[in-house]
Amino acid sequence: MTKDRPVLVVTDMQNGFVREQSEHVVPVIVELVRRWQAAGGETLFTRYINYPGSPFERFFDWRRLQSSPDTDIVPELLPHLERGLLLDKKIYSPFTLEGEALFKQQGWNEFYFCGIATESCVLKGAVDAFERGYTPWLIADASASHAGTEAHNAGLLVARRFIGPKQVITKAEIPAGLLAGGEI
């Protein structure tokens, strides 16, 4: 199956990742998803699930996002979830075995990444897309870090080095045909 449209990857917009440093991005992503879907675009929502004995637990002593409500997608995005696909993952990237099978099945070859956290899950997804020969885009102003602005900016710096400086864009640089309505 070949698709003419790219996919918007909404990375880990979960209650457990939304904090004071990242909450500003929630309405930005909700509006982006609304306009993307209104234009007929396909949307993939990823959901990170931590598990007992995970590397995050072993190396970071981090035990969050193991159950609801931490693992739940933020309420503001729930109305849009039914028009997209949901991929659960236990690693930073959506490029799990299940994810890769889904991407192939859907025929996606261009990925627009947004979400939380810029310097980890969003970045890793974009880099994995790049390394697999897909076209990655990282939407800088539709991504954030729960670790704050410094971590977000570090992620953008590394992304420009990993996937190319022109692949890190703003919402305003998304091609007009991919979004319904006027400027974001």
What per-residue confidence (pLDDT) applies to 1? 44
Residues 6+ apart with CB under 8 A from 115: 9, 10, 11, 12, 13, 25, 29, 46, 121, 122, 142, 143
CB 36, CB 30: distance < 8 Å: no
Q: Return the residue matching tokens 């190319």.
A: 164
Residues 6+ apart with CB under 8 A from 37: 43, 80, 83, 84
For the chain, the 3-state helix, strand and coil shares in percent, each to the nearest 5, are 40, 20, 35
The pLDDT tens digits for 71-110 are 999 999 999 999 999 999 999 999 999 999 999 999 999 9
Report, as an integer, the average pLDDT of 164-169. 98
The pLDDT tens digits for 132-152 are 999 999 999 999 999 999 999
Write down the domain spans for the chain. Answer: 7-178
Predicted TM-score (pTM) of the model is: 0.95
User: Would the pLDDT of 182 be above 80?
Assistant: no
The pLDDT tens digits for 7-41 are 999 999 999 999 999 999 999 999 999 999 999 99
- Decide which of 3.30.230.10, 3.40.50.850, 3.50.50.60, 3.40.50.620 is the CATH code for 7-178: 3.40.50.850
